[in-house]
Structure 1
Amino acid sequence: MEDKIWNCILKRLSETETELTKACLDEWLKESPDHVQKYKEAKFLWQLSAKIKPEQHEGSFEAIKANILVASSVEVKPVKLSFWKYGIAASLIGAFLFSLFYFLNTNKPANQKEEWVIKKAGVGKVIQIVLPDSSKVWLNSGTELAFTTNFNSKKTRSVKLTGEAYFEVKHDPSHPFVVKSGDLVTTVYGTSFSVRAYRNESSATVSVNSGKVGVTAPGNESAVFLLPEDKLRYDLNQKSFLKTTITDPDVDSWINGDLIFDQTPLEEVLKTLSRKYDVRFETGSANYKGCMLTARFQNKPIQEVLKTLQLVMNIQSEQIDHTIILKGGTACN
């Protein structure tokens, strides 16, 4: 049987199946009586494997094989096994045992929780971390990154991101690097790219400096692939993608304290400024909906940014401690 079907069978027998694997197996079983028979045979071998002591799960493939074959001599109510009749037990057992060995050594018990390492960049801070595989990640202000303690031992190098981060991923084709950021899932093998997915923003973006990445999200059947200087914006409300070319290639400029806004909604600009400068904005009854800002600030203080808002949009500002009150402004609707 194909690896996909073996996986679906193992998920059911171990009571860890998902809706997807359940549908996959149910459909396969309906295809022919032969498939039903093969499932019964696999279930029988699984029952035999239950006689292995828990501490033996960490053993070698040969050790598990030996224990299951010994267990088969114990009285178990068997199904009618066609592979015994036709003398092909060795090949089927071999295939099943290999899948079982993989399952036992790569899946934790349901009641054993994974341990996560969480790294955070405080307000107004940018930090760099090095992952267990030597990949480098820069976290922007107000960003959180999480990865498991067994990061290096998994088939997929997976991290969870809330906020904005720039990645330099170590090349490893056999272990894809996956960034889960809200609805977005970004998969790479070795490249440099930036992901922005803050909880309080209506869109998420992925920008690529080098290499190739694939991005998926709910409502989109296939992955969108990005090459250097490609930028993908995902609208969280519309569940839609917009792919563009980066007008300014410095997707990692914020690492050095720079701010780049390219037709960025003013609401998003203010959220970015709040995180970077640890301030809070009050707009009162002013309506800045539809206002966009295009500007670049090379590690400038907040006062310089406020002067630009005054010149470009006629927005007046008054700062009291960590609160900045905005007044006036040119209508942008």
Structure 2
Amino acid sequence: MDRLQYLLQRYTNKTATPAELKELSALMDKNFEDSINKDPGLSAQQEERMKMRYQHIIASPRKEPVKTVRMRSWPWMAAAAAVTLIIVSLVVLMRDDAGIDRPLQGLAVTRVVHSGQHQAELVELPDGTKVILNKNSELRYDSATFGVSTREVTLTGEAYFDVTHDAGKRFVVKTGEVSTQVLGTAFNVSAYPGQSAITVTVERGSVQVGDLQRTFGIIERNEQIVVNVSNDEVVRLQADAQSVVAWKNNYFILDNTTFAEAAALIEQRFNVKVIIENESLKNCRVVASFLNGESLKQIVDALSKIQNATATINGDRVMIEGGLGCTATDN
């Protein structure tokens, strides 16, 4: 972790000393100068507005830390992502051709989730909605307003949504000019930058797709709407939702699942028989995400260690022995 990343982390956690804040300000000024040198096309007015925003980051009090995804194996990358987010956000805001000086977006409330180049991310939103964010994708939402009257997120890339039902608060996924609205369902949205079309596919329930001017249609299970981003042409198709969302099947996700349920999922996925010797272990619940194509052994070993059990694989049989166990009242 370099010095700038360290100081940003200290600032984010509200542990920076006055001397560290002063040093951070100086380093941010240097980053500002570097950004200007890399983009000589900025006008003097744009440069001044950009500098004001850099100063605003250091001067403004923070009600809560910036929320960033913690990378499982490389914790220093979270700080690097924070640096990138600040710099990129400022440059994008400043390159406003209309000259509109928009206020700095609330860094304290905007949640930005990036999935890495080589793995997806499992995201749980404040309402309980589960999102599997595909590789090279980004999800944004405002944690201060999400769920107040509506539940709104912005997606770049591809994601699978399993939306918690709430009849009083619609769930909206924005992808450019296209919005997908639901109350509670499971669907897939593909909208990568440079892609010729935005595609919405429903696996369960129904969704409404449209833009600010019109509704393109309401689609249900195994239906799909494809919106051409260049001419707004809309095509409604029949689709095999399971095939469309096959990308997420590479990931093995257990969300508050009992060991007995996990065993059944492992049996289905790997075509094996799982035997749990300790009956009380079956009641234990586990939350785990395997997003890198983990093998049968890696998965059963990891799950067993959670409850101090041991797993043995013999051909197509998996034996899980020992473990602390749980009673039904523990859940």
TM-score (norm: length of structure 2): 0.42
Q: Is the radius of gyration larger for structure 1 or structure 2?
A: 1
TM-score (norm: length of structure 1): 0.42
